[in-house]
A and B are shown apart, each in its own frame.
Chain A
Amino acid sequence: MIHAAFLIPILPLAGFAVLFSLGRRLGNPLAGWLATAMVAASFVVTVIVFVALFQQAPAHREFTQSWFTWFGAGRLRVGAGILVDPLSMTMAAFITGVSSLIHLYSIGYMKHDEQFPKFFTYLNLFVFAMLMLVLADNFVLSFFGWEGVGVCSYFLIAFWFERDEAASAGKKAMIFNRIGDAGFLVALFLIFERTGSFEYTTVFSRLGHVGTPSLVAIALLLFLGAVGKSAQIPLFPWLADAMAGPTPVSALIHAATMVTAGVYLMCRINPILHLTPDAAHVIAWVGAVTAFVGATSACAQNDIKKVLAYSTVSQLGYMFLAAGSGAYVAAIFLMLTHAFYKALLFLGSGSVIHAMDEDQDIKNMGGLARLMPITGVTFLIGWFSIAGVPPFSGFWSKGDVLQNAWAVTPALWVIGAVSALLTAYYMGREYFLVFLGERRWTEARPVADGHGKELGHGLHPHDPSWHMSLPLVVLATLAALGGFIDLPFHPNLVFLERWLDPVVGPSLLQTHFSVGQEWLFSVVDAVIAVTGVLVAASVWRASSSRPALEPRFLFMAWFVDRGEDRLVARTSTALANFTATVVESRIVDGAVNGVADLTRWSGERLRRIQSGYVRNYALGLVAGLVVLVAYVLVRVGS
Chain B
Amino acid sequence: MGSLDSYLPIFVLFVLALAFAGLSIVASKLLAPQRPTSAKEAPYECGIVPANEPPQRFPVRFYLVAMIFVIFDIEVIFLFPWAVVYDQLGRFGLVEVIVFAAAAFFSLLYLVANGALDWGPVRRVRPVSSLQSRTTASTVRRVGTGSGEAA
Q: Would A and B touch once assembled, by the CB under 8 A criterion?
A: no
